[in-house]
Structures are given as C-alpha cells and as structure tokens.
C-alpha cells in the first residue's frame, strides 16, 4: 500500500451524516415530472411486495383521484383512518400524524408530499409531518412532482405559466436515502390524460389545453431527470467520502448571496439555490445594513424576512450584518468563511453610478478580484412608487419649526453685525444655523434650514435688499455655492447625528443587557432567575412572556407576565415542539404558525433547558434586526442563568446523595462490626454452655457468663447510642431542667466506667465550692461516660483523668487521656457522626457516635464542647465541657 493511500481517512462529516441516518427512518421519494406518470401506482406496487414479505406496512394517506386501478392496490393493506376537520363550513379529511406516531409501523406510505395541511394542524405542510415520522425512526415512502420543489417554483411558473403555490424545500429531497424516478414520455402521458386515467374528462380537457402541453411536459421531464441525476451524484460523493476514496474534490465551492429587500429577493434566492445545487456547494445568504439606516418599511421588512426564511428552507445559512462599510463587511465575512463565489442581483443603478463605476457590483468586483462574482438577473418587478423614508411627523414638524427659528435668529444676528461692523459676507452665520439644525434635529431639518438660509440671505443681505433679485453676477455664484455647501454640510452633519443616535441606542441596549446579566448573576434561586428574566423580557420586548421548564418529562409553566397568563392546548403543543426539536415554533414559523405566540428553546451547552414564549407587539410584521439580536442575546443569557441554577441544585442534591451514601456505608460498616462481634461472642458462649456446660469447671462457666454479660452490655450501649442520636436529630429528646451537682455526676460516671472497664485507670479531680449547673443529671452522666469510653478506646493503657473547676461564670469539666492524640485537622471532625479515629495499633474502633451524642446533649443543655490535642506533656487528648453556672452554689463541706 502506498504512503498516500495509507494516510487516507473517511470524511468525518460524511460519517456523522451516516450515523444520523442510522437513527432516523429512511425516506424514499417517488419523483415524477407531472401528475399522472404513475408515482402512486408504483409506490403501492412496491408496498404490496414488502407486505407479502412480512414487513409492517401502513397506508397513512393515498390520493387515488378516482383511479380504479390505483384504488385496487390499496385493498388488503392496513389503512390509517383520516382525521376529520371542520373548515369553512365543510368537513375535510387530513393525515392523522398523532395516530401514525402511536401506531409506529416499520413503513408508512404518505402521498402528496407538497400538500398544505388544514389551519388547525400541528404543521402547515405535510413534508413537516414526514420529518416527524422520520425522527421517530419510521421509514416513509412518498410521492412528489418536480414542479413542487422550492428552488424550481419560479422556473416552472415561467415555463408553464402556472403559479406553483405548494412547495417543498430542496433539503427534503437531498436528505432522502432513495429517489425513484417514475417517468413516461409526454405523448404517453397526454394519451393517459385523454383516456381519463389522470383526471375526470372535463378537468382533463382543460388540463391538456393549459398545463399538459408537449412543450411543458418536456421541460418538466428535463427538470426531473436533471434533479434525479444531481441526487445520484450527491449519493456517489457521500459514498466516496465515507470510504476515503479519492475524487476530484481537492477544494469545495462556497457561495455568498448578497440579499436586499427588493421585490426580486425571493427570485434571487431560488436562482442562487439552483446554482449551489449545480455546483454541489454550501451557501450563505447575507443582508447588510448601515447603522442608522436599518430597514423600517413594513412591506420591505416582511419581504426580506420571507426571503431569508426561504433561504433557510432551501438549506442556506443566513446572516444579518450592520456596518458603515457594507461592502467591506461583506468581504471580511467572505474571506473569513473561505467564500469562492459571490452572487448578487442585477441592480437598477443610476446613470451617475454607471458612469463613475461607483455602483455596488462595480465596487464589489474592484475590491475582491480574487473572488468570482455572479450577477443573476431576475424578471423586473412591477413598477412601484419610490417610498422615501422620512422621520416621524411630529419630529419632522419640530425640525422644520427649528429651521425657521434658526434662520430667523441668523437674520437677527446678521443685522446686528452689520450695524456694528462692516462685514462683506455673512454666509457663515447662516451656515452656523444649518449646522445647529443638523446636529439637533437631523438631516431633514438641515436641508430645510439650507433653503431658508439661501432665501433669507438673498432677501435681507444681497443688494437690492428686500427683493429676491440679484444685481451682481458674482453674487449668483456665491449664493449657489452657499446653497450647495449648506445642503452638503447639513446632510453630513445630520447623518452624523443619526449615527450618533443609533450608537446611543446600541449603547443603551448593551447597558441594559449588562444590567440584565448582573441581575441574573446575583439571582441564586431558580425562581428568582425566571422572574427577573420574564420581567426584563416584557420590559424590552413588550407583549406577554411565558417561561416553561421540563418537569417529570413534560413542560410546566413556571413564570409568566402578566402573572395570570395561561396557555392553550395548541400553545402547549408548540412549546413542547420547540423544546423537543430545539427550534422555534408558533407565530411566523413553520410549526403552528397561526398561533399568536412564538416559542423559542432556551439553549445552553447541555442542550435545551426550557422554552420562552412571547407575543410580538406587531403581529403583522417580523421582528426588526435590532429586536431580533436583542431578543437572541436575552434568551442566551436566560438559558445560561437557568442552566447555572439547575447545576447548583444538582450539585447540592449530588452532595446530599454523596453524604447519605457515606452515612449509609458507615452505618452498615458499624452495624456489621459492632453488632456482629458481640452477637457472635454471645452466641458462641451460649452454645458452649449448652453443649459442654455440665462437664465444664465452675470457673470456666463463670468466665463465659461474664463474657455474655460484657458483650450484652456492649450491645446495649451501641443500641442506646443509636437511639440517642435518632432522638437528638429528630428533636424528640426531652431534657429536665434541674440543678445538677457536678461532683456527683463526675463520681457516678467514674464508678460506672470502672465497672464496665475494670482494667482502665480513672482519676477524678473536682474543685471545692463548684456552683450548680442547670440541666439533666442523667444526660450529663451519659456524656461523661461516653467521653471515658472514648478515652478507653483511643487513649492507651495509662487511663484518663476527669477534672472539674470553675472558670469565671462557667463550670469547666475536662476528660484527659494519655493516648497518641488527634490530628489538628480532625479536632472538629471527631464530633461528626460516624467519624472514627484509630487506636494506638492503627485499627478502627467504635461506631463514631459517642462524641457526636456528647455534642448533641451538651448543646441541648446550653453548654459547649471542644477538643484539644496534645493535652498534657505533649501527648493525649483533652475534651472540654463548658456550662453556664447557675445562681445557686454548693455549701462548703464541714
């Protein structure tokens, strides 16, 4: 094998696409040039063959159009009942998508892919129903005529003279695993039409006169053959890439389409799609605007929005750019994305731009000589009146009034200057008025001030005064130059004013986004995040806002503004679709577009975390580019904040589960050791006594009985510790509030410990005149006993010392051992449940409950407990108990 061959690797993108196909159902399209070529007939023939082989085949929907031979093929196959919908006073039947998904056959036949569904359906188009079936892993067979492809709609309209209203995105055909071309000659199709095998006789007669002509059918047949060949070529390229077979694709083409809001925008998109298909190239559609000159005409905005949505349906990526230098920004994007060809529409430029070569296309070609430039012509749109976008009427009249006032002020200043000084020219005074109007009220006020200044300057200061007549020829030139300079200067200054206003609005939007980010960063609880997001979205976007989060597998409404906003069944379905598919649904989308609310998924790095629904202020117009960008940024921030809150909650729950798991493991370990050991000892001793008790000496029987008693006491202490801990944690512990004599409790605990640990040496040291403490004497004795028990386990063989004394207004009791001590890091942890230190020999001892019980009992009596290590002679551990001294004191001993 050659070195180059060994280095070949399959294309990762092709492999990923192949993996995606394995998870989805397979789509098979029976493609024809026109109705009547036999697509449905061929589809049903193949379905019957698979049914005979045992495949689960379901007829989801088939349109026979009254053809007996087609209807005969449906007999014997499982047919899905259609869904009845009341529409405009009559009942129509539609494909039942929900029933098909519930039935989940291996293969379903769904005819008429380009069909438009009834308004109340989940999707407006049947091809979207097919996408749902494929996503569910169901194989789909469908039929399609070539004229219904989106990119060919305008071509078919020009060829046949018939407008195609029902279309299917080209991407649907491109993603189909199998495309079967069903083809007959135009003569055969016309003969079938005349025999009544396609339409009823009256309909067939009209069809042969308009659509079904030999020329039209030949053109449609050519389109079908070409598109099928393109699809076969795509499949071949995919196969070569998946198997790392070298081919002639050293580099790939990438198209960039410059889109405007003109009437030919959709035609340009379709033409670019056909070009991209022929070149087998990816493509991107870009709309660029200058700051302060964003599109505001609702008609043009709607046209632009429709063209961009069309581009997305045809498989393009779309971008909206805002830059002062539109061409420069477009070329920067082109070079960043490695664009090889730029596509623009043929512009209708002015004569001046043609003569000077300053038009959009000429400038683009001059600045990008290394990128191929295509100028695609489109049919001329119907003539329309040129709409000049002007300011709002209120602001416009205010600007005109300001222009009149500024010019009047300039006349007054000019008269004052002429009285005081002999000035040959006062034009600068009027130019100052023009600039003031431009800087304050924009270009329209500046233009009005320019013409008013021209007239006022002529009337009041050019001889003969108080007339519009000009006596000197040079004054005419001066006036004209003044007018040109004033208009140009005012327009430029007004443009700067508009750009400054736009920059100010962008700064306000950025500041609002920053404030929103800070507000979300400071919100710790999920409810705070949702409420802050809903209120801010309502304040910036207007309309109703709802936020939904998944809970138990279904979306639940968590926050809404206004708070009493509720969702209908259709809105809930749209929200669930947006969450599942991670794409927008509802208003002005391809899913349930008749709803008044649009739902967008809240996407985080971990996927969709929720759904945001909003009602636009203007239901008949799309969102402006600034609104779209602001809304996208706000939703991204909201998604990240929600994801952060969810992660915090998951971390807390994970920590709690980890603690519970540690507690369970420790408890099981303690139970297995501290219960099994004494039970084993007791069981062994009892068995020995039962079997050999009569033959054993009296001394041995006493030893066994003492062992049983010792182990039973040990077991009793363990169970008592567990019960005490459960009572402390549940709050069921009831303490008496008696006056306790400290010395009595110390002596009682020491005597009890000596009986239980006879080999352990215990010393007591109690100061005289100790005050009483208030609490429960039995509980204090239990605390001291637990401390001595702990010293016996961990303090070595030298014993322990109990010392009681008064320190200020506190009574301090300490238990000191002479063991190896406690690590500094464990001085606080030893009071935690199930924390066990090691014996002097390194083995674990006890259950780790004794000191924890001591801490609970001491704090219940109003005291504190503390560990110190090393204690004495730089060895051992000292446990200090501090209790508030009661007001009564012990009487001194006599």
Q: Which residue has 């609104």 as its token pair?
A: 627
Task: Using pLDDT thresholds of 50, 70 and 90, give the confidence band for residue 548.
Answer: very high
Greatest pairwise CA separation for the chain in angstroms = 154
Q: For residue 645, is the peptide bond before it cis, meaning its omega torsion is within 30 degrees of 0?
A: no
Characterise 823 by phi-psi region: left (phi > 0), alpha (psi -120 to 50), beta (else): beta
Q: Residue 388 burial by CB count (10 A; 0-12/13-18/19+): exposed, middle or buried?
A: exposed
In a domain, 812, yes or no: yes
Contact indicator for 767, 804 with CB cutoff of 8 Å: yes
Indicate the pLDDT class of residue 599, thresholds 50, 70 and 90.
very high
Q: Annotate 204-235 with b (16+ C-beta within 10 A) or e (fewer).
A: beebeeebbbeebbebbbebbeebbebbeebe
Q: How much is the average pLDDT of 371-399? A: 58
pLDDT band at 349 (very low <50, low <70, confident <90, very high): low
Spell out the long-range contacts of 409-412 with Cβ–Cβ below 8 A and sequence spacing 24 or more.
409/433, 410/453, 410/456, 411/456, 411/460
**pLDDT given for residue 205 in this prediction:** 61
91 occurs within a structural domain: yes
- Exposure of 50 by Cβ count < 10 A (0-12 exposed, 13-18 middle, 19+ buried)? middle
Query: What would the mean pLDDT of 319-347 be, rounded to a whole number?
Result: 83
pLDDT value for 682: 82
Confidence (pLDDT) at 891: 47
- Among 25-29, 186-190, 258-262, name the most confident range: 25-29
Average pLDDT on 211-236 reads 77
- Could you give the angle at the alpha carbon of 32 between the alpha carbons of 26 and 33, nearest 5°? 145
Residue 475 and residue 531 in one domain:
no
pLDDT of res. 637: 86
Split at pLDDT 50, 70, 90, the class of 390 is: very low
Q: Give 623-641 pLDDT, tens digit per residue.
A: 777 777 788 888 888 888 8
pLDDT at 28: 92
Which whole number is the average pLDDT over 513-540? 80
Partners of 802 in the β-ladder? 764, 815
Flag whether 304 is in a domain. yes
pLDDT exceeds 80 at position 354: no
Nearest in space to 173 (alpha carbons), one of 97, 228, 239? 228
Question: Three-class SS string for 832-885?
Answer: CCCCCCECCCCCECCCCCHHHHHHHHHHHCCCEEEEECCCECCECCEEEEEEEE
CB 600 within 8 A of CB 577: no
pLDDT 10s digits, 116-126: 888 778 888 89
Confidence class for position 490, pLDDT limits 50, 70, 90: low
- In terms of domains, do 367 and 413 share one? no
Q: What is the distance between the alpha carbons of residues 796 and 805, in angstroms, rounded to a whole number?
A: 25
For the beta sheet containing 139-145, the strands, ordered from the edge strand earlier in sequence to the opposite edge, are 78-79, 57-61, 107-110, 139-145, 27-32, 178-182
Cβ-contact 685, 707 below 8 angstroms: yes
Q: Tokens 């924890």 sit at which residue?
A: 852
Question: 247-258 pLDDT, tens per residue?
Answer: 434 346 788 999
Same domain, 144 and 50: yes
297 and 439 both lie in a single domain: no
Closest by Cα among 260, 256, 245, 258 to 279: 256
Calculate the dihedral angle through the C-alpha atoms of 732, 733, 739, 744, rounding to the nearest 10 degrees. Answer: 160
Residue 27 parent element (H or E):
strand 27-32
Domain boundary among 344, 376, 408: 376
For residues 881 and 792, membership in a common domain is answered with: yes
CATH code assigned at 544: 3.30.450.40
Evaluate whether 247 touches 287 at the Cβ level (below 8 Å): no
Q: What share of the chain is helix, strand, coil (3-state, %, to 5)?
A: 50, 15, 30
| Separation CA 802–CA 759 (nearest Å) | 17
Q: Which of 141-145, 505-509, 632-636 has the lowest mean pLDDT?
A: 505-509
pTM above 0.95, yes or no: no
Same domain, 781 and 876: yes
Of 881 and 518, more confident: 881
Task: Tell me the C-alpha distance between 26 and 41, whole Å.
Answer: 20
Mean pLDDT of 313-334: 84
- Once rounded to an integer, what is the mean pLDDT over residues 320-341? 83
pLDDT for the residue 58? 93
The mean pLDDT of 480-500, rounded to a whole number, is 66
Q: Is the pLDDT of residue 466 over 80?
A: no
Is residue 716 assigned to a domain? no
Compute the average pLDDT of residues 810-824.
86
Binned at pLDDT 50, 70 and 90, residue 523 comes out as confident
Question: Which is nearest to 578 in space by CA: 528, 628, 639?
Answer: 639
Q: Has residue 297 been placed in a domain?
A: yes
Q: Looking at the structure, do residues 236 and 283 belong to the same domain, yes or no?
A: no
Mean pLDDT in residue range 309-324: 83
Write down which residue in 351, 376, 401 finishes a domain: 376
Six-digit token string for 725: 């801990």
Instruction: Check residue 198 and report its DSSP letter.
Output: S
- Both 463 and 539 in one domain: the answer is no
pLDDT over 80 (residue 686): yes
* Lowest mean pLDDT segment, chosen from 268-282, 306-320, 424-438: 424-438
pLDDT tier for residue 461 given thresholds of 50, 70 and 90: confident
Q: Are residues 25 and 122 in the same domain?
A: yes
Alpha carbon distance 362, 349 (integer Å) = 11
59: which strand partners?
A: 79, 109
Name the residue with tokens 């789509």: 27
Looking at the domain assignment, is residue 333 inside a domain?
Answer: yes
Choose one of 603, 634, 651: the last residue of a domain. Answer: 651
Which own/partner pairs from 308-311 qualify as long-range (CB within 8 Å, at least 24 positions apart)?
308/259, 310/150, 310/266, 310/269, 310/270, 311/257, 311/259, 311/269, 311/273, 311/285
Mean of pLDDT values over 734-740: 78
In a domain, 275, yes or no: yes
Q: Give the pair of three-digit tokens for residue 434.
A: 């023009």
Look at 814 and 821; give whichever has higher pLDDT.
Answer: 814
> Does residue 150 carry a pLDDT above 60?
yes
**Paired tokens of 237:** 């390229």
How far apart are the C-alpha atoms of 201 and 105, rounded to whole Å? Answer: 38
Tell me which residue of 734, 805, 725 sits closest to 773, measured CA to CA: 805
Which string of DSSP letters, residue by residue, matches 358-419? -SHHHHHHHH-TTSEEEEE--PPPPP-PPPPP---HHHHHHHHHHHHHHHHHHHHHHHHHHH
pLDDT value at residue 29: 93
Burial class (CB in 10 A: 0-12, 13-18, 19+), 875: middle
Evaluate if residue 380 carries a pLDDT over 70: no
272 and 219, same structural domain?
no
Most confident of 265-279, 728-742, 825-839: 265-279
pLDDT exceeds cutoff 50 at 583: yes
Sheet holding 282-289, edge to edge: 317-322, 282-289, 254-258, 341-345, 372-376
> Rg of the chain's alpha carbons, rounded to an integer?
45
User: Which residues lie closer than 8 Å to 804 by C-beta, 6 or more apart?
Assistant: 742, 743, 746, 765, 766, 767, 770, 811, 812, 813, 814
Residues 8-55 have pLDDT tens digits of 555 555 555 555 555 789 999 999 988 888 888 899 999 999 999 999
pLDDT at 635: 86
More confident of the two residues 789 and 110:
110
Q: What is the pLDDT of residues 647-666, one digit of tens each?
A: 888 887 787 777 666 656 65
Q: Which residues pair with 881 in a beta bridge?
A: 813, 865
What would the two tokens of residue 480 be? Answer: 């004209």
pLDDT at 476: 61
Cβ atoms < 10 Å from Cβ of 553:
5
| Separation of alpha carbons 788 and 763, rounded Å | 11
Does residue 772 share a domain with residue 869? yes
For residue 696, tell me if it sits in a domain. Answer: no
The pLDDT value recorded for residue 4 is: 46
Mark whether 424 and 364 lie in a shared domain: no
Q: Are 256 and 343 in contact (CB under 8 A)?
A: yes
pLDDT at residue 6, as a whole number: 44
Least confident of 1-15, 394-408, 593-607: 1-15
Give percent of the chain above pLDDT 70: 76
Q: Which two tokens stand for residue 436?
A: 């003031």
Tally of domains within the chain: 5
**pLDDT (mean) for 558-572:** 86
CATH number, domain of 769, equals: 3.30.565.10
Are 231 and 173 within 8 A, CB to CB? yes
Q: How far apart are CA 350 and CA 328, in angstroms?
A: 22
* Greater pLDDT, 48 or 792: 48
The position carrying tokens 């000429």 is 362
Alpha-carbon torsion angle 325, 328, 333, 335, nearest 10: -170
C-alpha to C-alpha distance for 454 and 833, rounded to whole angstroms: 94
What angle is formed at CA 290 by the lines to CA 337 and CA 326, rounded to 5 degrees?
35
Task: Determine the 3-state secondary structure of 26 from DSSP.
Answer: coil
Peptide bond into 682 cis (omega under 30): no
Q: How confident is the model at residue 2 (pLDDT cuts 50, 70, 90)?
A: very low
Q: How many other β-carbons are positioned within 10 Å of the β-carbon of residue 469?
A: 10
Across the chain, mean pLDDT equals 77
Full domain range(s) for residue 161: 12-242
DSSP codes, 29-41: EEEESSTTSSHHH
């Amino acid at each position: 094998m050659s070195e180059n061959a060994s280095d070949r690797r399959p294309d990762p993108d092709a492999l990923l696409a192949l993996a995606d196909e394995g998870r989805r159902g397979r789509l098979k399209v029976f493609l024809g040039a026109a109705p009547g070529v036999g697509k449905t007939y061929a589809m049903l023939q193949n379905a019957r063959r698979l049914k005979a082989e045992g495949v689960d085949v379901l007829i989801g929907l088939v349109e026979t159009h009254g053809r007996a031979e087609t209807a005969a093929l449906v007999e014997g196959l499982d047919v899905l009942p259609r869904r009845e919908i009341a529409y405009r006073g009559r009942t129509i039947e539609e494909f039942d998508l929900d029933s098909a998904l519930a039935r989940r056959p291996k293969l379903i036949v769904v005819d008429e892919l380009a069909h438009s569904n009834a308004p109340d359906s989940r999707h407006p188009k049947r091809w979207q129903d097919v996408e749902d079936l494929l996503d569910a892993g169901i194989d789909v067979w469908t039929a399609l005529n070539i004229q219904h492809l989106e990119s060919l709609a305008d071509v078919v309209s020009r060829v046949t003279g018939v407008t195609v209203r029902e279309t299917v995105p080209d991407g649907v055909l491109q993603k189909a695993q199998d495309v079967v071309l069903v083809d007959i000659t135009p003569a055969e199709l016309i003969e079938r039409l005349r025999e009544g095998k396609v339409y009823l006789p009256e309909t067939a007669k009209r069809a042969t006169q308009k659509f079904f002509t030999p020329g039209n059918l030949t053109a449609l047949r050519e389109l079908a053959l070409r598109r099928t060949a393109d699809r076969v070529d795509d499949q071949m390229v995919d196969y070569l890439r998946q198997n790392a077979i070298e081919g002639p694709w050293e580099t790939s083409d990438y198209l960039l389409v410059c889109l405007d809001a003109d009437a030919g925008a959709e035609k340009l998109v379709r033409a670019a799609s056909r070009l991209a298909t022929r070149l087998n190239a990816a493509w991107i559609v870009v709309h660029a605007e200058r700051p302060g000159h964003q599109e505001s005409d609702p008609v043009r905005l709607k046209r632009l929005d429709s063209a961009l949505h069309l581009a997305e349906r045809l498989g393009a990526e779309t971008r909206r750019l805002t830059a002062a230098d539109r061409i420069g920004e477009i070329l920067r994007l082109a070079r960043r994305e490695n664009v090889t060809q730029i596509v623009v529409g043929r512009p209708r430029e002015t004569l001046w731009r043609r003569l000077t070569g300053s038009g959009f296309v000429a400038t683009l070609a001059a600045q990008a000589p290394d990128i191929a430039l295509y100028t695609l012509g489109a049919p001329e749109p119907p003539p329309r009146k040129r709409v000049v976008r002007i300011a709002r009427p209120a602001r416009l009249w205010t600007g005109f009034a300001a222009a009149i006032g500024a010019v009047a002020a300039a006349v007054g200043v000019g008269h004052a200057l002429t009285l005081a000084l002999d000035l040959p020219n006062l034009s600068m005074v009027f130019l100052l008025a023009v600039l003031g109007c431009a800087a304050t009220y924009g270009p329209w006020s500046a233009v009005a001030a320019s013409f008013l200044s021209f007239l006022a300057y002529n009337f009041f200061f050019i001889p003969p005064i108080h007339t519009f007549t000009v006596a000197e020829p040079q004054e005419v030139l001066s006036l004209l130059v003044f007018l040109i300079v004033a208009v140009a200067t005012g327009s430029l200054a007004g443009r700067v004013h508009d750009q400054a206003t736009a920059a100010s609005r962008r700064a306000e939007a950025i500041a609002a986004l920053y404030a929103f980010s800070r507000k979300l960063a400071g919100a710790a609880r999920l409810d705070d995040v949702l409420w802050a997001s809903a209120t801010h979205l309502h304040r910036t976007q207007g309309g109703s806002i709802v936020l939904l989060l998944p809970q138990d597998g279904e979306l639940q409404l968590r926050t809404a503004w206004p708070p009493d906003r509720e969702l209908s069944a259709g809105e809930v379905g749209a929200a669930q679709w947006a969450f599942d598919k991670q794409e927008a649904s509802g208003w002005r989308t391809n899913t349930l577009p008749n709803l008044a609310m649009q739902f967008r998924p809240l996407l985080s790095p971990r996927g969709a975390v929720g759904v945001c629904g909003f009602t636009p202020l203007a239901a008949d117009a799309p969102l402006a580019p600034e609104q779209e960008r602001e809304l996208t940024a706000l939703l991204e921030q909201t998604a990240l904040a929600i994801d952060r809150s969810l992660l915090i909650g998951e971390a807390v729950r994970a920590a709690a589960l980890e603690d519970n798991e540690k507690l369970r493991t420790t408890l099981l370990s303690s139970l297995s050791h501290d219960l099994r050991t004494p039970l084993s000892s007791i069981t062994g001793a009892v068995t020995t006594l039962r079997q050999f008790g009569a033959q054993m000496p009296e001394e041995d029987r006493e030893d066994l009985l003492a062992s049983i008693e010792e182990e039973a006491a040990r077991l009793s202490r363990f169970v008592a510790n567990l019960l005490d801990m459960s009572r402390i944690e549940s709050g069921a512990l009831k303490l008496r509030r008696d006056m306790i004599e400290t010395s009595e409790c110390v002596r009682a605990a020491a005597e009890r410990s000596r009986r239980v640990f006879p080999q352990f040496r215990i010393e007591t040291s109690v100061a005289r005149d100790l005050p009483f403490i208030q609490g429960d004497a039995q509980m204090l004795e239990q605390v001291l006993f637990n401390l001595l028990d702990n010293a016996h386990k961990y303090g070595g063989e030298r014993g322990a010392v109990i010392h009681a004394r008064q320190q200020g207004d506190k009574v301090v009791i300490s238990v000191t051992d002479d063991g190896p001590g406690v690590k500094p890091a464990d001085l606080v942890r030893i009071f935690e449940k199930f924390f066990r230190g090691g014996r002097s020999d390194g083995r674990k001892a006890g259950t780790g409950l004794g000191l924890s019980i001591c801490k609970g009992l001491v704090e219940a009596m109003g005291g504190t407990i503390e560990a110190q290590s090393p204690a004495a002679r730089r060895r051992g551990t000292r446990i200090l108990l501090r209790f508030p001294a009661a007001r009564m004191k012990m009487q001194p001993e006599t």
